[in-house]
A and B are shown apart, each in its own frame.
Chain A
């Protein structure tokens, strides 16, 4: 089966500073993959490369087999993204934000409204369609961003630190919503986070540290391999060992 996302030997640097070093992993369709790393690990850089905001200096990125640089149109139309920064236009209503996004995917306004109503209902925000985006809470904005990212029916969803700034309930609700989507729509999800408690035992985990992938496996397998009590401890072991190796 073609992976939803394939990252092959990707390296990237800003001037002399290396942000990503030979990063490789894949996200299968219908899976929830966590990209776990501390702030500054390179998660946002990787997202910028996957979304073609800029190009990787080395390596290949494919979305359902379509190379992001050689076939950007085919790759990006299968991709939905929720960025770390809020990207709703606060001056526009929720519906207008969604219709605008749909237009950016070649979906006309009538079809866009139909899809938007369905997506908002799925996100539990059916009654907020006419409200200005600025009138929403942080958690509601994130839900609208997820609804927007799914509007063009992508098969791969990227979420970059989507729960940052949300309260405990909003975080839990958001995470539950995305996990349901994986089950219901067979979406491949890449969930970038630095929050350990967002990881379930069955999740595929990619540990990114200082631009390098240190581990890729099921969370439970990583815990067992590190003889750790939980994924938090395993992460500390792995990154600590890498840091020692680097210092030596």
Chain B
């Protein structure tokens, strides 16, 4: 009966074991799903090699921070495509949570004795780690397309920006997964979340251009968290800090995370109201 007398709390080492176990499992799943990795890379590369090449002459980009000279359109959209990888990964991760919940796998996570906020946070960090790997794989290919930061340090300075934007988009995905009852409903959410977030942002065109054609759309873009994730990454890639975007991404991350944790809380969450 030693278990009955077992201590209730966990040590820091046990928390780390749990976290690394969740990250390890997510990594294994990612490695086993090669098509997921390929499609995660193909998507931004299509935008880079085809869309950007086609629109290079049409969509001129003036000198705007962080750029100090004229840049090619491919260079301009690269940070947006990095954020796009993370956006799709965040949604893919939430899709897998809906799938796991329907198939029951999610229950094995949620009946762990570790605090639920920690379990969800671990799952979130695992998704972010995978998304960062995808972004660096994209940057490796983009390097041969002459898309690179001003110095090699840009590859380092962009990492915290990717981590924060990945957390924000992953937390949003997690929140969405708690609101979706069935897998079939997810396709609609993808259309209503991914595409509006991506297109109503500075990923493909500078916001001053949007403002010229539609002021109200400009304001929509301004409050879109994805815009600020893109700008955070853009500046960080150029070894600079977009302070306003940093603050906004941080605020959105906190809000999405708290909402997701509350949504998965057994006493308050959406799961309870819907009966699983």
Contact = CB atoms under 8 A, between A and B. Distances in A.
Physical interaction between A and B: yes
Contacts of A155: 1, 3-4
A73 B29 contact: no
Contact of B8 (A52, A74, A153): A74
Nearest to B6: A77
A51 B107 contact: yes
B28 A54 contact: no
Contact of A89 (B29, B110, B272): B29
A91 B32 CA distance: 7
A66 interface: yes
Interface in B255-276: 266-267, 269, 271-276
Given A66-B8, A154-B3, A100 B24 contact: yes
| Chain A contact residues: helix, strand, loop or mixed | loop
B8 A73 contact: yes
B114 A104 contact: yes
Interface size class of A (residues with CB under 8 A): 35 or more
Interface in B97-116: 103-105, 107-115
Contact of A103 (B3, B24, B113): B24
Interface stretch (B10-18, B149-157, B187-195, B213-221): B10-18
Contact of B104 (A71, A85, A91): A85
B69 interface: no
Contacts of B57: none
A53 B271 contact: yes
A22 to B, nearest CB: 19
Contacts, number: 130
Main secondary structure of the interface of B (DSSP, over half): helix
Interface in B1-49: 1, 3-4, 6, 8-11, 13-15, 17-18, 20-22, 24-25, 28-29, 32-33
Nearest to A66: B8
Contacts of B266: 52-55, 69
B272 A104 contact: no
A99 interface: yes
Contact of A87 (B6, B15, B105, B272): B105
B29 A92 contact: yes
A106 interface: yes
A102 interface: yes
B29 A91 contact: yes
A73 B10 contact: yes
A163 interface: no
B114 to A, nearest CB: 7
16 contacts: A14-B273, A14-B274, A52-B266, A54-B272, A55-B272, A73-B9, A73-B113, A76-B111, A77-B8, A77-B113, A78-B4, A89-B25, A92-B32, A105-B112, A106-B14, A108-B13
Interface of B: 1, 3-4, 6, 8-11, 13-15, 17-18, 20-22, 24-25, 28-29, 32-33, 103-105, 107-115, 119, 266-267, 269, 271-276
The 5 A-B residue pairs with the shortest CB-CB distance, nearest first, are: A103-B21, A106-B14, A85-B104, A74-B8, A54-B272
Given A73-B9, A91-B29, A106-B14, 14 more contacts: A14-B273, A14-B275, A15-B273, A29-B1, A55-B266, A77-B3, A83-B107, A87-B107, A89-B25, A89-B29, A91-B32, A100-B22, A100-B24, A105-B113
